[in-house]
Amino acid sequence: MSSGFRREIILLLAGITLAVIVGSFSDALFETLCAVLAAYLAWNLYNLYMITRWLEKPGKNTPETWGVWNDVFYNLVRLNKRHRKSRKRLATILNRFQQSTQALPYATIVLNDMNEIDWFNPAAAALFNLHQQDNIGIPITRIIRPSVFSRYLRDKKFDQALEFKMLTRSLKLNISPFGKGSFLLSAIDVTERRQLDDMRRDFIANASHELRTPLTVITGYIETMREMKGDCDSLPFDRVEQQTERMRTLLEELMTLTRLEEEERPDGMEPVDITALLEDVYQDALSIDKGLHNIRLTTEPASLDGNREELRTAFMNLVTNAIRYTPEQGSIRIFCNTDKQGIHVGVEDKGIGISQQHIGRLTERFYRVDTGRSRENGGTGLGLAIVKHALDRHGGKLHIHSVLGLGSLFRCDFPLQGLASVPVPSETA
């Protein structure tokens, strides 16, 4: 109990005692008691009235009073001061947040737990044509209408950025959850970058296509010249033939990569029997290898919605690499297993291995650990880029583990849900 309140009770008791004494002497005990209590009630009513007035318009100065009411006013003023201070601090933080988000080049939108717009910055207003009066509180799906965005919101896989087309523009968008059920959406217009990418892709596709015809003509001429050469040395013809073969492989891989980048989803999706597909890959591996390695296949029954040819190209690239980078008689294992996470298809070899610093870059186009060795083995530096793109389009991820001198594991991890979760590819390797 506070000292002010204790004092108040003592005073009240003293007043009542005095009233009893005076009342007993004057033979008017009841009237005196009523008078004292009425005075006390009036005093409290007066203070209640003052406090109500002060609360309607709190100021620095409180009404003059005493006793417990003085304590009440003192504490109210203190609370009011503290409240004003924290409001000021919050306003400063909010101001600073708004200033910094207004300076952001990214369109930034704050969404509530119902995915309705709570706040947006000028970049968002410009990008999505938003207006302060009309668009606060409306669902974001009424502004960003493509179904791929609604799916993204529903699936809540916000660790991946989403890239998609809206009318004539390409947008890249991120969502980060914060606070209690709020979301920060940031978006950027990547139309120009996309157009440049498209131009680059078209150029490579056209150039590769155009180069195929002269290459076929050259190959034809070499064959004719070889037939005409008689007893002359065949080495120059072999060399030219090797190089034209290399060029043909390079053009084909470039065209495959361009095709994989071009379309968002594989054509001809169908349930693919992975066991049967790996049996085919295994037979092809045996025929390419010509008995130089010990190749094994271990597989569990598995099926995946996808494009059989693309998956076959991806797995075949991994097997070809294992054959290329494993010394003769070394062992290579092609496998497929399933668990709660999904389907895992991989190739493990006891080959030359790769040191750690290269692993993060292996899926970049033309990235090779040892360019000379790769060329010698008929490599183009595009194999793993093709694998990555083919997997992206099937919702899969490439996992690489390798130890220099001991061997490598290349594993394709496919989620169980299959096609429903295939993301729109956003980045190129």
Q: Is 391 in the site for ligand ADP (CB under 6 A)?
A: no
What is d(CA 51, CA 66) in angstroms, rounded to the nearest whole number? Answer: 13
CB of 368 to ligand ADP, least distance (A): 3
Under 8 Å CB-to-CB from 210, ≥6 apart: which residues? none
Q: Is 208 in the site for ligand ADP (CB under 6 A)?
A: no
Q: Is 316 in the site for ligand ADP (CB under 6 A)?
A: no
| Other residues' Cβ atoms within 10 Å of the Cβ of residue 429 | 18
Q: Is 313 in the site for ligand ADP (CB under 6 A)?
A: no
| Interface pick for ligand ADP out of 109, 188, 352, 390 (rule CB under 6 A) | 352
Question: Rounded to 5 degrees, what are φ and ψ at 405?
Answer: 85, -15
Whichever of 127 and 429 has its CB closer to ligand ADP, that residue is: 429
Q: Is 346 in the site for ligand ADP (CB under 6 A)?
A: no
| Interface pick for ligand ADP out of 293, 344, 350, 368 (rule CB under 6 A) | 368
| Interface pick for ligand ADP out of 124, 354, 398, 412 (rule CB under 6 A) | 354
HSE (side-chain half, CA atoms, 13 Å) at 132: 2
The interface region with ligand ADP, picked from 139-147, 226-234, 297-305, 375-383 by CB under 6 A, is 375-383
CB of 146 to ligand ADP, least distance (A): 34
Site for ligand ADP, residues 397 to 426, rule: CB under 6 A: 408
CB of 402 to ligand ADP, least distance (A): 7
Is residue 146 exposed (0-12), middle (13-18) or buried (19+ Cβ within 10 Å)?
middle
Q: Is 110 in the site for ligand ADP (CB under 6 A)?
A: no
Q: Is 256 in the site for ligand ADP (CB under 6 A)?
A: no
Instruction: Count residues near ligand ADP (CB under 6 A).
Output: 23
Q: Is 384 in the site for ligand ADP (CB under 6 A)?
A: yes
359 contacts 327 by C-beta, under 8 angstroms: no
Q: Is 266 in the site for ligand ADP (CB under 6 A)?
A: no
Residue 381 one-letter amino acid? G
In order, the DSSP letters of 209-253 are HHHHHHHHHHHHHHHHHHHH-TTS--HHHHHHHHHHHHHHHHHHH
CB of 292 to ligand ADP, least distance (A): 15
In order, the DSSP letters of 133-152 are HHHTTSBGGGTS--HHHHHH
Closest residue to ligand ADP, Cβ-based?
383
| Interface pick for ligand ADP out of 295, 325, 345, 393 (rule CB under 6 A) | 325
Q: Which two tokens stand for residue 230?
A: 């008689």
Q: Which two tokens stand for residue 376?
A: 């010698």
Q: β-strand 331-338 against 294-299: which pairing, if any? A: parallel
Which residues of the chain form contacts with ligand ADP (CB under 6 A)? 317, 321-322, 324-325, 349, 351-352, 354, 362, 367-370, 374, 379-385, 408
